[in-house]
Structure formats: structure tokens, C-alpha cells
Structure 1
Amino acid sequence: MGFLDSLKEKALEASEAVKEKTTSATEAIVDTALKIKCATNWHTGEFNNEEGKPECFFSKVCPDCGKYITKTKHFFNEPPVIEDPNRCYGYRVCELCGFKQSDYFHNYERADKNEQCVIIERCSLCGHERFGKPEHEWIHNREGDAFFKICRDCHIKIRVYE
């Protein structure tokens, strides 16, 4: 029985060697995937408020690469202060940390619809206009075996596949 015992022992050794190589290859793949993930700024971990920092300041340390990451979520409860009413330009202040954010603060409302059915929005404060999304009024039509939808206003025709 010495030969069979020897053969069994060699088979176990070979099995362990294969298991080691498989484990190290798997670890290398996982390590590479984690490096790629972190290199593309896709870090894991949960953001928490840091002690001694404003409530709008959050940070985390990525457990995979150890990078320290911060973000802010400012709290703007008060309406903006408009400095230039002709352009709706002004600022607002974070109630938690005092951060001053300057920007345009338009109040857009639906004003019109152009010949391509694109909504035109106009600021009720300064008159600035911008394009919104198209809004079509569809009717459905069948031509032979094909189905179409046609806009009542701009007459664009789109084939509908069923």
C-alpha cells in the first residue's frame, strides 16, 4: 500500500499547488479591479460629518485605496440676494457655514411654443428666454402595415414599431 499512499500524497500536494495558484491569480484580478475602480474616482465608503466641521461638510476614507475624500451639501433656506435685477444675478448664503454662492437665479415660466413644438421659457423677473423640451400633440395613423404618429402642430411624422 505504500505506492497508493505515495500517489495520494502527491495528488494532495498537486491539488494544494493548483489551489495556491488559483488563489493568487484571483487576488491579483481583485487587486487590479480595485485599483481601476479607485483610479476612476469610484471610491467606496460612507460619507460622514466630521467633528468640528460645519454640518454641510462630509468626508470619508476609501477603504480600498486610503484616499481622503470630501464633499459639501450646503443648506440654502433663504431666497437669494439679487445684486443685478436686469440679469437676475446675485448670491445666496449657506446657513450652516456661511459659504456665499454667486449665480443666476432666474424664475422661468412657460411662455410660448415654437414651430418645432419646443417650449420657450421666460424669466418672470428679467425676461431672459431659454428653450425647454419639445411638447408634441400626437395623433396616430396607419398606412398599410406601418403605424405612425404625427404631431398636430408641427406635422413631424415618426414611425411606430410594434
Structure 2
Amino acid sequence: MNPVRRRRLLFVLLALVVAGIATTLIAMALERNVAYLYTPAEVLRGDAKQARFRLGGMVEKGSFAREAGSLTSHFRVTDGDAQLTVRYGKILPDLFREGQAVVATGTMQDGVFVAEDVLAKHDEAYMPKEVADKMGKAHQKHDVPAAPAGSTN
């Protein structure tokens, strides 16, 4: 093999190796920043395998409390089937209210969801589509259709 061809081949191989390493690093960075959305029932069932994830549902009425002399607040998020206590140590969004949809990003610690970020919506009739879909699927699993009248099953 002549030296020019050998140099070209080495250059192409080196470019492929560099491209492969760059692709791997980008994929790893993106995977670390992905936070999947789970409902309280899914979290309590153990479906949330990642350390950091998003929790979506409704803020349960009468569940909000703030620690005296600090910004830390506690509230429960429900999907209608299960409730999960959330602790948040920053200022809550102005639109945060009991009975409204909320999406919190954080981690589980000793059975409590410790939120790093909380998002709330302005209209109590609005729920993020992703949360509504997950809550609807959870309820469908529990609803068993009744047999039609007159059936022999």
C-alpha cells in the first residue's frame, strides 16, 4: 500500500473514531438531562426507575403547608388514585394553587418527592396534556366495564 493511501485510510479511521466518541458523549449528556413524567400512582408502583424525574398531577386541596420561618413548603400531588407528598424549598410560582395541575421536577428521598422546580398553570380547568393523558390511562386500568344487560357471561 502506498504511503498516501495509508495516510488517507488512517485519517478516515481517525475521523470515524472521533465522530463515534462525539456521538456517545452527546447521547450521554442528553440522557442525563431527560426527566420522564410520572403520576403518583406510577411512582408508588415503582415505575420511576430514574433518580431524577417529573411528577405530574393535581395539588390536593387542604394539603399545602409551609414550614415556619422558611420558604420550604409541603403539599400532596394526586392523580385520583394515589397521593405523593412533595417538599419544595424555593418560592412557589404565583399561579400555584390547591386543586390545580402541577408538574414538579426532582428526586425521591425517604418516601417524599423533593422538588427542584415546580410549574403551575393559570386555569384550574387546564391540565398539561401529558399529565391528563397519564391520569386518564391510570383510571382506565381501574375501570372494568360492566357486562351489558341480558348477557350470559
Same fold (TM over 0.5): no
TM-score by length of 2: 0.31
More strand by share: 1
TM-score by length of 1: 0.30
**Larger relative contact order, structure 1 or 2 (CA cutoff 8 Å, min sep 6):** 2
